[in-house]
Structure 1
Amino acid sequence: MHSTAMAATFSFRPQEYISSRRSCHTAAAAAAPPPRIIRSTSWRWQQHARRRPICRLQCRQQVQQNESDNRLTQNTGIFEPSIWGDFFLGYPNPEASSQQETKMAERAETLKEQVAEIIATSTGLHERLHIIDTLERLCLDHLFEHEIDAALREIEAVDVSDYDLSTVALWFCLLRKHRYRVSPDVFTRFKDDEGAFPADNPAELLSLYNAAHMRTYGETILDEAILFTRRQLETMLPYLEGPLAREIKSSLEIPHPRRVRIYESKYYISTYEKDAMAHEKVLELAKVNSNIMQLHHQHELTIITRWWQDIKIESKLPFARDRLVECYLWILGVYFEPCYSRGRIIMTMVIAILTMMDDIYDSYGSQEECEIFTKCIESWDTKKAHDLPECMKFALGKILDSYETIANMLHQEEKYRMQYLRYFTEYTASAYNMEVKMRQEGYIPKSVEEHLKVSLRTGACPILSCTSFVGMHDIATKDCFDWVSSVPNMVQSLSIILRLADDLESYEREKLNPHFASTIDSCMKEHNVSIEVAREKIHTLKEKSWKDFNSEWLNPDNAYPKQILERIFNLTRTMEFMYNQGDNFTNCCNIKDTIHLLLVEPFKVIT
Structure 2
Amino acid sequence: MASFSVHAQPWSSSCQPAAAAPSQRQCSTTPPWRRPWRQPRTRSPGTLRCRQAQQQLLLSTGVIQQDAVDDRLNKNPCNFHPSIWGDFFLYHSSTTAASYEQQEWIVQLERLKEEVGNMITSSVTSSLLERLHLIDALERLCVNHLFEEEINILLMQISSSNNVNDCDDVHTVAMWFYLLRKHGYKVSQDVFVKFKDEEGNFIAKNPMDLLALYNAAHYRVHGEKILDDAILFTKRCLHSMFPSLEGSLAREVKCALEIPLPRRVGIYEANYYISTYEKEGKVHDMIVQLAKLNFNLMQLQYQEELDIITRWWKDLQIQSKLPFARDRIVECYLWMLGVYYEPNCSRGRIILTKVISIATIFDDTFDSYGTIEECELFTKCLESWELVADELPDCMKHVLEKVFQSYQIIEQELSEDEKYRMPYLRSFTEDLVRNYNREVKMREESYVPKSVEEHLQISSRTGACHLLACASLVGMDVTATKESFDWVSTMPKMVLALCTILRLVDDLKTYEREQLTPHVASSIDSYMKQHDVSIEMARFKIEELKEEHWKDFNDEWLDPDSAQPRKLLEAIFNLTRTMEFIYNQADNFTYCHNLKDTISSLLVEAFPVN
Q: Same fold judged by TM-score > 0.5?
A: yes
Is the Cα–Cα contact under 8 Å of residues 76 and 318 in structure 1 kept in the other structure?
no
Is the Cα–Cα contact under 8 Å of residues 208 and 225 in structure 1 kept in the other structure?
yes
Is the Cα–Cα contact under 8 Å of residues 318 and 360 in structure 1 kept in the other structure?
no
Residue matched to 1:490:
494
2:143 is aligned, of 133, 140, 144, to: 140
Residue matched to 2:437:
433
> Whole-Å Cα distance in 2 between the matches of residues 452 and 156 of structure 1?
38
Residue matched to 1:444:
448
> Whole-Å Cα distance in 2 between the matches of residues 504 and 465 of structure 1?
22
Residue matched to 1:256:
261
Determine whether 1:265 maps to 2:288: no
> Whole-Å Cα distance in 2 between the matches of residues 295 and 76 of structure 1?
38
Is the Cα–Cα contact under 8 Å of residues 505 and 546 in structure 2 kept in the other structure?
yes
> Whole-Å Cα distance in 2 between the matches of residues 464 and 476 of structure 1?
14
Residue matched to 1:348:
353
Residues 161-310 of structure 1: pairs in structure 2 closer than 5 A: 161-163=165-167, 164-310=169-315
Shift of 1:172: 0.2
Is the Cα–Cα contact under 8 Å of residues 129 and 172 in structure 2 kept in the other structure?
yes
Residue matched to 1:360:
365
Q: Which amino acid aligns with 1:109?
A: E
> Whole-Å Cα distance in 2 between the matches of residues 518 and 457 of structure 1?
14
Shift of 1:157: 1.1
Q: Residues 128, 530 of structure 1: CA spacing in aligned structure 2 closer, same or farther, 3 A cutoff?
A: same
Is the Cα–Cα contact under 8 Å of residues 77 and 320 in structure 1 kept in the other structure?
no
Is the Cα–Cα contact under 8 Å of residues 479 and 565 in structure 2 kept in the other structure?
yes
Is the Cα–Cα contact under 8 Å of residues 215 and 222 in structure 1 kept in the other structure?
yes
Shift of 1:515: 0.7
**Secondary structure of the corresponding residue to residue 75 of structure 2:** helix
Give per-residue Cα distances to partners, 1:415-434, cap 9 Å, x unaligned.
11001000011111000000
Shift of 1:381: 0.9
> Whole-Å Cα distance in 2 between the matches of residues 61 and 308 of structure 1?
31
Task: Give RMSD over aligned pairs.
Answer: 2.0
Determine whether 1:500 maps to 2:504: yes
Percent identity for Structure 1 against Structure 2: 59
Determine whether 1:112 maps to 2:113: yes
Q: Residues 449, 314 of structure 1: CA spacing in aligned structure 2 closer, same or farther, 3 A cutoff?
A: closer
> Whole-Å Cα distance in 2 between the matches of residues 174 and 62 of structure 1?
58
Shift of 1:503: 0.2
Is the Cα–Cα contact under 8 Å of residues 10 and 453 in structure 1 kept in the other structure?
no
> Whole-Å Cα distance in 1 between the matches of residues 574 and 45 of structure 2?
30
Shift of 1:124: 1.8
> Whole-Å Cα distance in 2 between the matches of residues 507 and 77 of structure 1?
13
Residue matched to 1:18:
41
Shift of 1:76: 6.4
Determine whether 1:455 maps to 2:478: no
Shift of 1:99: 1.6
Shift of 1:167: 0.7
Q: Residues 413, 311 of structure 1: CA spacing in aligned structure 2 closer, same or farther, 3 A cutoff?
A: same
Is the Cα–Cα contact under 8 Å of residues 64 and 392 in structure 2 kept in the other structure?
no
Is the Cα–Cα contact under 8 Å of residues 306 and 333 in structure 2 kept in the other structure?
yes
2:129 is aligned, of 122, 126, 129, to: 126
Q: Residues 148, 249 of structure 1: CA spacing in aligned structure 2 closer, same or farther, 3 A cutoff?
A: same
Is the Cα–Cα contact under 8 Å of residues 347 and 467 in structure 1 kept in the other structure?
yes
1:597 is aligned, of 597, 601, 608, to: 601
> Whole-Å Cα distance in 2 between the matches of residues 421 and 77 of structure 1?
29
The answer to which of 234-243 and 69-78 deviates more is: 69-78
Residue matched to 1:547:
551
Q: Which amino acid aligns with 1:336?
A: Y
Determine whether 1:89 maps to 2:112: no
Is the Cα–Cα contact under 8 Å of residues 319 and 356 in structure 1 kept in the other structure?
no
Is the Cα–Cα contact under 8 Å of residues 78 and 368 in structure 2 kept in the other structure?
no
Shift of 1:94: 3.0
Q: Which amino acid aligns with 1:269?
A: I
> Whole-Å Cα distance in 1 between the matches of residues 144 and 433 of structure 2?
38
Give per-residue Cα distances to partners, 1:548-575, cap 9 Å, x unaligned.
1100110123221111000110010000
Q: Which amino acid aligns with 2:597?
A: D
Q: Which amino acid aligns with 2:500?
A: I
TM-score, normalisation: structure 2? 0.90
Q: Residues 406, 110 of structure 1: CA spacing in aligned structure 2 closer, same or farther, 3 A cutoff?
A: same
Shift of 1:319: 4.3
Shift of 1:280: 1.2
Determine whether 1:154 maps to 2:154: no
Residues 473-488 of structure 1: pairs in structure 2 closer than 5 A: 473-488=477-492
Is the Cα–Cα contact under 8 Å of residues 75 and 364 in structure 1 kept in the other structure?
no
Is the Cα–Cα contact under 8 Å of residues 324 and 368 in structure 2 kept in the other structure?
no
Residue matched to 1:586:
590
Shift of 1:82: 2.0
Q: Residues 9, 196 of structure 1: CA spacing in aligned structure 2 closer, same or farther, 3 A cutoff?
A: farther
**Secondary structure of the corresponding residue to residue 18 of structure 1:** coil
Shift of 1:77: 5.9
Alignment: residue pair count: 564
> Whole-Å Cα distance in 2 between the matches of residues 100 and 524 of structure 1?
60
Shift of 1:104: 1.4
Q: Residues 313, 509 of structure 1: CA spacing in aligned structure 2 closer, same or farther, 3 A cutoff?
A: closer
> Whole-Å Cα distance in 1 between the matches of residues 544 and 379 of structure 2?
35
Is the Cα–Cα contact under 8 Å of residues 465 and 568 in structure 1 kept in the other structure?
yes
Q: Residues 493, 195 of structure 1: CA spacing in aligned structure 2 closer, same or farther, 3 A cutoff?
A: same
Is the Cα–Cα contact under 8 Å of residues 475 and 561 in structure 1 kept in the other structure?
yes
> Whole-Å Cα distance in 2 between the matches of residues 234 and 389 of structure 1?
54
2:375 is aligned, of 367, 370, 379, to: 370
In structure 1, runs of 5+ residues without a counterpart are: 1-7, 25-44
Give per-residue Cα distances to partners, 1:36-80, cap 9 Å, x unaligned.
xxxxxxxxx9xx9xx99xxxx9xx99952x434322331266112
Give per-residue Cα distances to partners, 1:75-129, cap 9 Å, x unaligned.
2661122211111000031322332221111111111101101101112211111
